[in-house]
Structure 1
């Protein structure tokens, strides 16, 4: 899947992903995966279901990933747009593209974790858990989210 908007392109082709760009952002600029090793990230990317690369020309400037079974559950993670490309509506466009993917229209429950982007995700129907007593987690706090 590829969609174009002006000078920008979003593609779900994993062959286009620029691993070094993704690793640099997650390891050095994100609050949710500081210091993530290249090996851990490689394993994570190889295990993900859908990748959304955001490109300006040939350069990757953003990313999102979805882990899903295509019917009942999807987890959205590692969403980012590089700082120099922010303020252009790209994160909203990236989210619109993720949420409109034809293979994800049957998803019953979407999940994500965020510390600072609630406003963005609310625009796409995400809310705080309405019945938190139903959910449990096993959480490793090494990443500091």
Structure 2
């Protein structure tokens, strides 16, 4: 799932910074929204930090969801302004489910799994489509 989110959010561009209409900035691989303070941006363009925050946010969304949480319903909160977001993430996850890691190249050309920095709290399966439950901190 992390791969699908990063693909949709930044197309694997760690330094992506988008100034949003609401006045904040979406930063890094997971396009994490918040202030446009330069120090915050500098922190979040680090792929390790960004992915750790994405995993933490997903864990929080999943565990705090109270309505329409079945399937990936809890994922609505990651990008609440995009009604088709859950469907789009699900589509990528389904295409990659149980696939060999090389299947990721079809979704993210030029991206090699060995180059994705994963922390010990966000250890990833080498397969695209891993459920968020596998990414919870121990």
TM-score range, shorter chain: 0.3 to 0.5
TM-score (norm. length: structure 2): 0.35
Q: Who wins on radius of gyration, i.e. which is larger?
A: 1
Higher helix share: 2
Higher strand share: 1
TM-score (norm. length: structure 1): 0.34
Which one has more relative contact order, counting CA pairs under 8 Å at least 6 apart?
2
